């Protein structure tokens, strides 16, 4: 197999960092989507019961949607990884010499001398031929395949935790303080999420924080204005 199909995966640490980053992004989605929903409903001057019902409905539908989407996505990725590994096993069994030469060529392409590349390829093939080809040729670690249920649960929990913040912030304060308290809490939470995602990705935090805060603020402003306009038109 000469193509570089499949997704690039790191070692166990890299995989865990990817899940942490997904958790941060899931929480961020829960914050923004639920905040936009409840602030929009508050703009229509709804009472606490309506706000709570809308927020809980948004939390449940959003978390289930995130979980099912992540399950489908990761299941497809895992199926592709397993199919690639199955094909690699068959090629190793049918043409081991050609596969050894291919592995050697890959190491030469990475910068090793032909002699060293041949020695490395022979030793790694003797140790675990499938792992050597999977990691070098496909970018797949057979011991670290993605798990759909883990991804789905992670997305469900992170979205739920994120969504709880604006939901509680909108229903607990007095009527006149609902929107200001929610906006403040959401913007602070988005700053934290932006900082966390930047740190996990090794990027400067300033830009990520700015994107998060501006995006969340625009979402809340748009839904609040929509709620006010609907209320003024007599729709609510």
What is the rounded distance in angstroms from the CA atom of residue 220 to the CA atom of residue 236? 18
pLDDT at residue number 209: 92
pLDDT at residue number 9: 40
Among candidate residues 21, 58, 29, 16, the one with its CA nearest the CA of residue 189: 29
pLDDT at residue number 141: 81
Please name the residue that has the structure tokens 């990725």. Answer: 77
Mean pLDDT by 10 residues, the chain (236 residues): 41 57 81 92 84 91 90 89 91 92 92 92 92 87 81 89 94 90 94 86 86 93 91 67
What is the rounded distance in angstroms from the CA atom of residue 128 to the CA atom of residue 225? 61
Structure tokens at 80: 């592709």
What is the rounded distance in angstroms from the CA atom of residue 63 to the CA atom of residue 215? 20
pLDDT at residue number 12: 52
| pTM, to two decimals | 0.74
pLDDT at residue number 97: 92
Give kind and range of the element (H or E) at residue 58.
helix 48-94
What is the rounded distance in angstroms from the CA atom of residue 76 to the CA atom of residue 25? 20
What is the rounded distance in angstroms from the CA atom of residue 17 to the CA atom of residue 35? 27
């Amino acid at each position: 197999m000469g193509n570089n199909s499949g997704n690039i995966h790191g070692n166990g640490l890299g995989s865990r960092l990817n899940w942490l980053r997904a958790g941060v992004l899931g929480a961020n989605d829960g914050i923004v989507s639920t905040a936009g929903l409840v602030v929009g409903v508050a703009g229509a001057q709804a009472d606490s019961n309506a706000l709570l019902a809308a927020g809980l409905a948004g939390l449940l539908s959003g978390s289930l949607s995130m979980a099912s989407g992540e399950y489908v996505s990761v299941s497809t990725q895992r199926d592709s990884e397993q199919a690639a590994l199955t094909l690699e096993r068959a090629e190793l069994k049918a043409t081991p010499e050609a596969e050894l030469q291919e592995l050697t060529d890959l190491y030469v392409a990475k910068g090793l001398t032909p002699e060293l590349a041949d020695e490395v390829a022979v030793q790694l093939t003797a140790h675990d031929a499938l792992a050597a080809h999977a990691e070098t040729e496909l970018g797949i670690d057979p011991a670290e395949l993605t798990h759909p249920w883990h991804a789905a649960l992670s997305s469900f929990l992170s979205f739920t935790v994120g969504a709880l913040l604006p939901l509680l912030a909108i229903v607990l304060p007095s009527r006149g303080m609902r929107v200001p308290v929610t906006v403040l809490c959401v913007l602070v939470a988005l700053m934290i999420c932006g900082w966390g995602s930047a740190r996990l990705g090794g990027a400067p935090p300033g830009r990520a924080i700015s994107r998060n805060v501006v995006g969340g603020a625009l979402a809340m402003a748009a839904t609040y204005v929509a709620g006010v306009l609907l209320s003024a038109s007599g729709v609510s």
